[in-house]
């Protein structure tokens, strides 16, 4: 294992110290339990947005704390859901009297820990709602599974709901909006190489020199199928077709196209992917009106990408365009 | 790691477990988790995200550190709750809330008790498992820790009901958990991260069932040893 | 070679089509010769800023075209300097009557191609100045070498000079500023793994499972020394000490600290590095007053990082803080 | 790839090279670059950035495409300038301006000529090399293409001055370039990307010197063949 770290089990703590030192203008980092909180939290009268999950997906979620996006993030150990005490502390820290929304990625661990935290928060008199993001079409959605994983749409939901909260929309409105984003977003990812969890010290999975994994999860969970390496255009097709069919996306739709790097893939290649995606959607009569290209929801050093499409309307577009000021996403009006 | 120099009470047939026995069981489980950290993680890498051993080890070493630091008040229920709280706040993932709930509910069932009779133990285990079922909504056959715990519980109760000694009952409980653990191999996961794999989850042993077997086996080894 | 590409020799062109489709609000992409030009170029009365270099370092330079930074970028083939006709076209496209500054990284190829382009530009009546960035302390600076390579300081110079040009500073002022940034910036990089040039199809160099290369170049050029993998804190020390000694940076200095990812290193690790750097500089009485953390001048999928320190004064700080709106760097006042 | 079916003039001692001969030399060089693309790239990977073969191949295949597309006007100077311009705008890196300048300056020296005498060839080569020296500021011993070109030029002039046939002079020129190329191995680079390596550049053959040897060898093989 080759990594720029000191001790495998100190990675998260040391990175949090780095974040604290680097972004003191945007966030405060609390330790034990670990949370990253917007510097001016709690913002009175604003719904507080809390998300969190295992570390190793940076900039998500800690890099999305700041005006226009999250109020707090709870970083777990690498690829491991954070614990209820973190979420409870975050909830208390960002409660400005308008309630707190938990944006939860659909993994059993995340869901259960956030449930425990919500119970604890409620019992301390804070109004808490939770929305679970489950946008990964690689996974069968069925009563007989834990349902779909939460992936790329999470980033978009955090941005869009952050803007709505900034507009002082109510907790139920922001939660409803979050469900709407989730309902209109679909994703699928693929890996060229495995990631290496520092504490494990070796690749989570093995892929042959000419194999790729289609439908990979952001923790290196195996995907739909393992196939031979193929040209980017073919891979884009394999990822996009299930996404289009699932919602379904239709001719005339306007979408936000999010081409996400898994961590180890050069930006140059993501633009090649974007080019193929743009052409493919054009063939289907779907127009990309907004885009996001880069490593935003990563899986450590995994090489690969994911594609997320979000069907836009005027409301979602307006909220996407609204100003945001975080370490990971930043723009003005 | 067996730890605390507990004076062995060593009855021919053990009729109860005292506070220190429970402590030794917890420490034994921590040692087993430590020893099996790698293999639990490997099992999880095959059908999950490769952290179950790491998570459980982080949690159980925090538990041991906590127990080392605080003098117990001889309340088995409080002890088990402390274990549960510590797991909840250090493990994370699915294992944290599930094992945390298991111990918390066992603690509630054992609240105020200075020692556990065989039936107390069976009752605590039953309460703990009910908590896990309630939290995780898994049923037997879903390829989860439930698949080791439920047979372990049932075998314990059946053995005790049939008049077995406690030590025997514990061994039968551990053996049933082991069988349940092995029986997860062919199953298709329907809960937790492994369920994302669908049919591809078959052919692998569930990591949570494996750690749950270690838990019941630790009880059998710690409390059944002196017969 | 596992890459998200279609054909190795079409990578740059396809990525440029992707950039054109994604960032039409910011840039226009011209093909044959390939240039990326600010959408509203030429800006009348503003010094035009042109940079360029081999592709494979994205977001540099194309991702830095836009208000507050570059007016045009010339993307060469992967790791290969662009050609004078690209630079000439770019120079013409951004000439708003106030002259054009070429920001050139010190590589023989880049320098010679930009020289030829400057000659051609002058002969077409455009006032052209060129500043060569050579900030890489890994390389001996001597009369008997091609001098130091241009690396991380390039990004900072493009941002700072872009702000000055936006303020309508004159060509000679912007050029002087660029030399000042270069004079006050020092960098050094390291690699954990090699990059793979698509057209070559295999790693540029081999590193053992426990080896790292200290002083690596951004094209995978071998560095100062190959050593055993070490903890991040030790690596930071090895990179930072030569940087500090070279300028030298001194107690009381205020610096911009730029922790750059080479392309394949997770952001999580860059924050670990930043934490170690912050502590180390603190021990030397040097204060980080601005920072930049992430993959900005990359080397395809190489894992590793580089550290750049720029000694700041009020002028540089003000220009760094000025608004910028590009695909790769973006903030408001 | 030897290309165009030029009618072989085949004199016992060739006294000049015609436009088509120059064309054949260019095509031969292109073919050699193609055949040696891998090895040139490997040499560059060792002390540079691993693209010299790729760059030269891209450039020379553009040259061939250009020459295929446009009918020549029998002006050797114009032909060489076209080659130079094409290289400048397709190769990039250090190789582009250097080889571009080499051909541009050769073209200027041969301007308006329909064929080249041996002395014309020597003069053109001399002018081209002067252009390279002027552009790159390298001196012999700096471990660059100059280290193949200069001995090649000197041997050519010495042979012609000593009364050798053109074919012999070309062969001696190529042999000297080859020796110069080999002699770059122990050198420490002082120019170009390899100079960043300092002492670590010693022990490797310079890629540019290697492609320059191919260039002069292509001349010897193309023009010396028919004796
Ligand atoms: N809903 C559930 N009910 C009971 N046990 C579950 C459930 N989901 C997962 N598990 C158990 O948790 C184990 C995985 O734990 P762990 O790896 O620590 O968490 P994570 O999946 O979050 O990484 C599985 O092997 C399974 O036994
Ligand atoms: N200043 C120079 N003068 C003459 N030749 C040079 C000079 N710098 C580099 N070269 C030659 O260029 C070759 C490298 O060319 P190439 O790999 O195409 O360019 P780059 O170094 O830009 O990748 C070297 O092997 C060397 O022979
Ligand atoms: Mg996990
Ligand atoms: Mg797991
Ligand atoms: Mg090059
Ligand atoms: Mg080269």
Q: Are C84 and C136 in contact (CB under 8 A)?
A: no
How would you classify the pairing of strands A254-261 and A225-228?
unpaired
Whether residues A76 and B92 touch (CB distance < 8 A) is answered with yes
Q: How many residues does chain B have?
A: 227
Angstrom distance (rounded) from CA B146 to CA B136: 9
* Minimal CA separation from B98 to chain A, in Å: 8
- Sign of CA pseudo-dihedral A193, A196, A201, A205: negative
Cβ count near D186 (within 10 Å): 11
Determine whether the shortest distance from the Cβ of B64 to ligand 1 is under 6 A: no
Q: Which of A83, A168, A179, A166 is nearest to A129 (CA)?
A: A179
Ligand 1, atom 22, residue with closest C-alpha: B93
Beta bridge partner(s), residue C103: C51, C131
Q: Give the pLDDT score at B6.
A: 46
- The alpha carbon of residue D49 is apart from the nearest alpha carbon of chain C, in Å, by 6
Alpha helices per DSSP H over chain A = 11-22, 84-94, 108-123, 153-166, 171-184, 232-246, 267-283, 314-321
CA D37 to chain centre: 15
Crossing angle for the helix pair D76-90 and D19-35, to the nearest 10 degrees? 30
How many Å apart are CA A209 and CA A205, to the nearest integer?
A: 13
List the shell of residues around ion ligand 4, using CB closer than 5 Å.
Answer: B 44, 48-49, 51-52
CA distance A49 to A324: 14
- Residue B4: the pLDDT is 44
Residue C61 region, left (φ>0) first, then alpha (ψ -120 to 50), else beta?
alpha
Taking each continuous run of H as one helix and of E as one strand, the counts in chain C are 8, 14
- At the topology level, CATH places domain B17-223 in 1.25.40
CB C106, CB C149: distance < 8 Å: yes
Nearest to C133 by CA among C118, C117, C148: C148
Query: How far, in Å, from the CA of D208 to the mean position of ligand 2?
Result: 6
In sequence order, the 6+-apart residues with CB closer than 8 A to the CB of A84 are: A113, A114, A116, A117, A120, B88, B89, B97
For residue D191, the chain C residues in CB contact (below 8 A) are 108, 145-146
**How many CB atoms sit inside 10 A of residue B8's CB?**
11
Residues of chain C contacting D189 with CB distance shorter than 8 Å: 145
The CATH code of domain C9-184 reads: 3.40.50.10440
CA dihedral sign of residues C247, C250, C252, C256: positive
ipTM comes to 0.91
The partner residues of A325 in beta bridges, in order of sequence, read A330
Please give the backbone phi and psi of residue C257, each rounded to the nearest 5 degrees, phi first.
-105, 125
Asked if the peptide bond before residue A248 counts as cis, ω within 30 degrees of 0, the response is: yes
Identify the pLDDT of residue D1.
Answer: 39
Taking the domains of chain D in order of start, what are their residue ranges?
17-223
Q: How much of chain B, in percent, has pLDDT values that exceed 70? A: 93
Scored b (16 or more CB within 10 A) or e, C147-185 reads bbbbbbbbbbbbbbbbbbbbeebebeebbbbbebbbebb
Residue D15's pLDDT band (cuts 50, 70, 90): confident
* Shortest-distance Cα residue to atom 19 of ligand 2: D94
Interface of C with A in 195-214 (CB under 8 A): 209-210, 212
Question: Residue range A51-57: average pLDDT?
Answer: 97
Share of chain C above pLDDT 70, in %: 100
Is residue B227 predicted with pLDDT exceeding 50? no
Q: Whose CA is nearest to atom 25 of ligand 2?
A: D208
Q: From the CA of A110, how far away is ligand 5's center (Å)?
A: 48
For residue range A73-116, what is the model confidence (pLDDT) as tens digits?
999 999 999 999 999 999 999 999 999 999 999 999 999 999 99
- In degrees, rounded to 5, the angle at the alpha carbon of residue A10 between the alpha carbons of residues A6 and A14 is 80
The yes or no reply on domain C185-320 and CATH 3.30.1180.20 is: yes
The count of C-alpha atoms lying within 13 angstroms of the C-alpha of A331, restricted to the half-sphere facing its C-beta, is 13
Statement: residue D210 has pLDDT above 60: yes
Task: State how far the Cα of A225 lies from the Cα of B199, in Å rounded to an integer.
Answer: 11
B136 alpha-carbon distance from chain centroid: 16
Contact of C328 with C63, CB cutoff 8 Å: yes
Nearest CA in chain D to C8: D54
Residue partners of A200: CB distance under 8 A and separation at least 6? B41, B45, B50, B51, B54
At residue A141, the pLDDT reads 74
What's the confidence (pLDDT) of residue A220? 87
Q: At CB < 8 A and 24+ separation, what contacts does D125-131 make?
A: D125/D149, D125/D152, D125/D153, D125/D156, D126/D153, D126/D157, D128/D101, D128/D102, D128/D103, D129/D102, D129/D153, D130/D105, D131/D101, D131/D102, D131/D104, D131/D105
What ligand is nearest to the CA atom of residue D192?
Answer: 2
Mark yes or no for CB contact A83/B92 under 8 Å.
yes
Per-residue pLDDT, D225: 67
**Cα–Cα distance measured from residue C220 to residue C192, given in angstroms and rounded to the nearest whole number:** 11
Are A165 and A24 a contacting pair, CB within 8 Å?
A: no
Neighbours of chain C (3+ CB pairs under 8 A): A, D
Question: Counting runs of H as helices and runs of E as strands, what totals does chain D give?
Answer: 9, 2
pLDDT in tens, D143-179: 999 999 999 999 999 999 999 999 999 999 999 999 9
Domain residues of chain C, as ranges?
A: 9-184, 185-320
Q: Rounded CA gap, B192 and A221, in Å? A: 12
Question: Quick check: A109 and B191 CB within 8 A?
Answer: no
Question: How far is the CA of C279 from the CAs of B6, C176, C286, in angstroms?
Answer: 47, 33, 10
How many angstroms separate the CA atoms of B180 and B213, rounded?
8
User: Distance, in angstroms, between A142 CA and closest chain B CA?
Assistant: 9
Which of B90, B93, B198 is opposite residue A109, by nearest beta carbon? B93
Nearest by CB to B200, from A80, A112, A222: name it.
A222
CA atoms of B87 and B59, how far apart (whole Å): 5
pLDDT string in tens for chain C (333-residue length): 999 999 998 999 999 999 999 999 999 999 999 999 999 999 999 999 999 999 999 999 999 999 999 999 999 999 999 999 999 999 999 999 999 999 999 999 999 999 999 999 999 999 999 999 999 999 877 767 789 999 999 999 999 999 999 999 999 999 999 999 999 999 999 999 999 999 888 898 899 999 999 999 999 887 888 999 999 999 999 999 999 999 999 999 999 999 999 999 999 999 999 999 999 999 999 999 999 999 999 999 999 999 999 999 999 999 999 999 999 999 997
Confidence of residue B226 (pLDDT cuts 50, 70, 90): low
Q: Which backbone phi and psi does A219 adopt, to 5 degrees? A: -115, 15
Task: Say whether A288 sits in a helix, a strand or coil.
Answer: strand
More confident residue, A145 or B181: B181
Instruction: State pLDDT tens for residues D44-61.
Output: 988 988 889 999 999 999
For residue D8, pLDDT over 60 is answered with no
| A&C contacts, CB < 8 Å | 187
What is residue C37's three-state secondary structure?
strand
Average pLDDT over residues B83-93: 96
């Amino acid at each position: 294992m080759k990594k720029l770290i000191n001790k495998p089990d100190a990675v998260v703590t040391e990175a949090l110290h780095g974040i604290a030192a680097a972004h003191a203008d945007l966030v405060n980092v609390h330790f034990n339990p670990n949370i990253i909180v917007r510097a001016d939290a709690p913002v009175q009268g604003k719904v507080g947005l809390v998300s969190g999950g295992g570390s190793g997906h940076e900039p998500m979620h800690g890099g999305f704390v700041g005006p226009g996006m999250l109020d707090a993030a709870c970083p777990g150990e690498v690829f491991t859901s954070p614990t209820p005490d973190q979420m409870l502390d975050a909830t208390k820290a960002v409660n400005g009297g308008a309630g707190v929304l938990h944006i939860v990625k659909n993994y059993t661990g995340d869901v259960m820990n956030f449930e425990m935290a919500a119970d604890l928060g409620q019992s301390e008199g804070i109004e808490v709602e939770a929305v679970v993001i489950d946008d990964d079409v690689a996974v069968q959605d069925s009563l007989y599974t834990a349902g779909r994983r939460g992936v790329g749409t999470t980033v978009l939901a955090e941005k869009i709901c952050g803007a709505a909260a900034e507009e002082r929309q109510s907790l139920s409105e922001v939660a409803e909006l979050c469900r709407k984003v989730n309902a209109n977003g679909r994703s699928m990812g693929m890996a060229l190489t495995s990631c290496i969890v520092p504490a494990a010290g070796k690749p989570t999975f093995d892929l042959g020199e000419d194999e790729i994994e289609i439908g990979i999860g952001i923790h290196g969970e195996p995907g739909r199928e393992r196939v031979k390496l193929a040209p980017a255009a073919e891979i884009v097709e394999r990822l996009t077709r299930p996404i289009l069919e699932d919602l379904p996306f239709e001719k005339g739709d306007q979408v936000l196209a999010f081409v996400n790097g898994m961590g180890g893939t050069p930006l140059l290649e993501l633009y090649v992917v974007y080019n193929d995606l743009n052409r493919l959607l054009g063939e289907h009569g779907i127009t990309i009106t907004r885009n996001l290209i880069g490593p935003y929801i990563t899986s450590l050093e995994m090489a690969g990408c994911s594609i997320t499409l979000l069907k836009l309307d005027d409301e979602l577009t307006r909220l996407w365009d609204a100003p945001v000021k975080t370490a990971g996403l930043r723009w003005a009006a | 790691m067996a730890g605390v120099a507990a004076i062995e009470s060593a009855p021919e047939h053990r009729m109860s477990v005292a506070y220190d026995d429970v402590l030794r069981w917890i420490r034994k489980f921590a040692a087993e988790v430590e020893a099996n950290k790698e293999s639990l993680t490997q099992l999880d890498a095959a059908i999950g995200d490769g952290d179950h051993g790491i998570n459980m080890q982080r949690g159980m070493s925090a538990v041991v550190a906590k127990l080392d630091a605080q003098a117990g008040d001889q309340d088995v229920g409080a002890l088990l709750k402390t274990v549960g709280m510590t797991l909840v706040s250090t493990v994370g993932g699915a294992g944290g809330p599930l094992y945390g709930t298991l111990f918390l509910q066992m603690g509630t069932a054992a609240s105020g008790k200075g020692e556990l009779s065989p039936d107390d133990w069976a009752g605590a285990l039953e309460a703990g498992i009910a908590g896990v079922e309630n939290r995780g909504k898994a049923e037997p056959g879903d390829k989860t820790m439930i698949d080791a715990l439920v047979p372990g519980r049932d075998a314990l109760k059946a053995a005790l009901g049939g008049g077995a000694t406690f030590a025997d009952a514990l061994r039968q409980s551990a053996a049933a958990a082991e069988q349940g653990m092995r029986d997860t191999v062919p199953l298709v996961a329907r809960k937790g991260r492994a369920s994302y794999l669908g049919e591809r989850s078959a052919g692998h042993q569930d990591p949570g069932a494996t750690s749950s077997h270690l838990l019941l086996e630790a009880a059998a080894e710690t409390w059944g040893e002196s017969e």
